[in-house]
Structures are given as C-alpha cells and as structure tokens.
Structure 1
Amino acid sequence: MNRIRRMWCMLFPPRGSVARPSDRVQGGLLGFVVLLALIALPAAASFGSETYASEREQSARQLDERTQVTATLLADGPEIKVNSRTGVVGNGEPTDATWLLPDGTRKVGKVVADEGTLKGHTLAIWVDRDGNPVDPPLSSAGVVIDAVVVGLGLWLGALASLAALYGLSVFSLNRLRYARWQQEWFAAQDRKTHS
C-alpha cells in the first residue's frame, strides 16, 4: 500500500510538496511509460492473433496435403553413440525403409530412424501426396503456442524497452540533480568562507 501511495505521489505531487521540476518530469515520464505499456498490450495481442490466423491456415493446408503412414525399416538404424562428455545420445539418421500409401502403392526410401532401432522396426512418418517423407504438419497446439509466444514476447520486449528507457531517463535526471546539488553545496561553502 505504501509503495502504491509513493508511486501516486511521484506521478501527481501534492500541492505544497518539495517536489522539484525534475521530480515532476520523472513522474510525467513514469505515467507516459505506463500508458505506453498499456497501449502495447493490445498491439502485441493483435500480432499474436495475426500469427494464429496465418499459422492456422498453414496447418490446415499441411494437414490436407500430408498423410501419416507406417514405415518399416529395411536396415538397422544407426548405432547408439553416447557423447562421453554429456552422456547424451545423438540424433537419428536416414535409414532405408518401406511404407504403404493410402492408395495401396508401396514406396521405398529413406526415413530418419533413431539410434539403436533394428531392421523390421515400424515407425509413423508423414508423407506428401507423392508419397515422399516430409516433416509433420503444424499441430493445433503448435499454432496456439506460437501465437501466444509471439504476442507475449512482443509485449515483454516492449516492457523491457520501456523500462530501459525509463531507467536511462531517471539516471540522466539523477545526474542533473546531483550536479545541481553539488553546485549549491559549493556556493554555500563559498558563502561560508567569505563571511
């Protein structure tokens, strides 16, 4: 409660307060920064909404053009390799496999098989209309996550930029105030020594 009251007094110094002009400028800057942060929220949400709409169309197009089929490995996958430093197993590699298309045509080609998989192992893959392996389509959850990340990321970036600009402004105002205080101090010292 005390912090809110201090912020309110910084924004709107009461009559008869000892607020300097630089304090009033700082309060005005704080109000402007808060206003810009509030304006940035719907703008960021709009970008997130645009991202959602465009990626939803892309996801629908990909789901229409791609089909999930089951591939059977014709050879063993890559050997298991463990990184001696991290203990992390490496990624899969292209391996010969066969799969049946929805129209009954059998295709042979390369699919990415995990390390340690053996000949005859089956795995789900996505294929295009020609039966060639492709990346999985963008999922509905992926579309929502991307939209939220874009919108929230833009708003947080705007907040960080505004906070940095406000901090820089306050730093500059403090330097001006300290310089003025020092001048007043030296003037007071000069008056003491000459009197």
Structure 2
Amino acid sequence: MISLICGAVAAGALWSNGAEADRELAAHRHQVRATTTGPAKDPPVAARYGSTPQAVAPAVWEQPENVRRSGTVHVPPRTPRGGTVTIWVDDTGTPARPPGSAADRALTSLSGGSVAAASAGAIGAGALVLVRRRAEARRLAAWEREWERVEPVWSGRLRRGSPPGTDDD
C-alpha cells in the first residue's frame, strides 16, 4: 500500500513539474512556415522502433519578424525544393524541439510513478526479509540455549558439572 502511495505521489509530482516546464518552454517556442531551398535528403534509419523517419532539407524562414533565417530543418521524406513546412523555433529563430505534449507528460509520469512504486516495494520487501531473518536468528538462539539446559535431562545424560555415577533425576 505504501509503495502505491509513493508511486502516486511521484507520478503527480512528475506531472505537475512537467506541465510547468512545458508551459515555460511553450512561451519561448513558436511555429513558423519554412520554405525548402533544396530537395530533402533521404532519412537515416529510424533511431527508435516505431519512430517516423525524418528527412532533412535546407530551408529559409522569418523569425523574429522581418529577420530572414536559414538552416537545415526536418521535413517529410521526398519534400521537393520550394516545399513549405511548419517548424518550431525559439525566440531567436533557431530551430528547436516543440514543447512537450500531454501524452509525453503522461508517459513520463506513469513511468516514474511505476519506478517509484517498485522501488518502495523492493525496499519494503528487503526490510521485511531482514527483520524476519533477525527474528528467526533470535528465536533459534533462544531455542539453542533452552535445548542446552533441557537436553541432558531429556536424553538421560549427566548434567554438566555433575560427578560421574550420580543421577540428578
């Protein structure tokens, strides 16, 4: 139960921190239209399973207003020269990644919350194992001490310290 609470708290903290970071980032990101000045180069092999391959092409755009910029931007494969694409730029007009989405934030929160819950559960299980082992060791030591007192009488052997030939029964 405690591990679930830890996971929920971690997920909530990751969500709120991510939302704040995305709001701050969104305030400094802008979408602009760029025009390609050359053909798109073939995309490299997808970096991740399931990722959409992105080609690159030289392009020009204006950001801030009336300031012409140029550079290489990500475009759909086979974008021709003169094609128009929407790109994200920062306040200086440099191409930048877009602000995070709610889906990205949800995945990060869920992943982080799961890791926190699993970690708290593992720590709790480890602590329980240590406590049980220590209790078992104490119980066995007490049993051993008790057995040392009872065994000579129970087995019919002389008690320690008794002279030979005497029976303490």
Cα distance between partner residues in 1 of 2:150 and 2:137: 20
Cα deviation, residue 130, structure 1: 2.4
Percent identity, please: 23
> Structure 2: where are the runs of 5+ without partners?
47-52, 159-169
Give the SS at the match of 1:65. Answer: coil
Give the SS at the match of 1:194. Answer: coil
Q: Which amino acid aligns with 2:109?
A: A
Cα deviation, residue 161, structure 1: 1.0
Work out whether residues 67 and 127 of structure 1, in 8 Å CA contact, stay in contact via their aligned partners in 2: yes
Cα deviation, residue 133, structure 1: 0.6
- 2:97 equivalent to 1:153: no
- Give the alignment partner of residue 18 of structure 2, picking from 55, 58, 73: 55
Which structure: larger Rg? Answer: 2
Work out whether residues 95 and 111 of structure 1, in 8 Å CA contact, stay in contact via their aligned partners in 2: yes
Q: How many matched pairs?
A: 152
Work out whether residues 71 and 125 of structure 1, in 8 Å CA contact, stay in contact via their aligned partners in 2: yes
Give the match for residue 161 of structure 2: none
1:111-133 Cα offsets, whole Å, 9 max, x none, are 3579x867647665311132211
> Structure 1: where are the runs of 5+ without partners?
1-33, 83-90
- Give the alignment partner of residue 132 of structure 2, picking from 162, 165, 170: 170
Aligned CA distance change for structure 1 residues 108 and 148 (closer, same or farther; 3 Å): same
- 2:31 equivalent to 1:68: yes
Cα distance between partner residues in 1 of 2:93 and 2:13: 32
Aligned CA distance change for structure 1 residues 147 and 99 (closer, same or farther; 3 Å): same
- Give the alignment partner of residue 93 of structure 2, picking from 96, 116, 131: 131
Cα distance between partner residues in 2 of 1:68 and 1:48: 30
Give the match for residue 69 of structure 2: 107
Q: Which amino acid aligns with 1:126?
A: W
1:38-92 Cα offsets, whole Å, 9 max, x none, are 7x71x6544443433332222223223212345455365377579xxxxxxxx97
Aligned CA distance change for structure 1 residues 172 and 71 (closer, same or farther; 3 Å): farther
Q: Which amino acid aligns with 2:31?
A: Q
Give the SS at the match of 1:135. Answer: coil
- 2:38 equivalent to 1:77: no
Give the match for residue 23 of structure 1: none
Q: TM-score, normalised on structure 1?
A: 0.54
Cα distance between partner residues in 2 of 1:145 and 1:101: 32
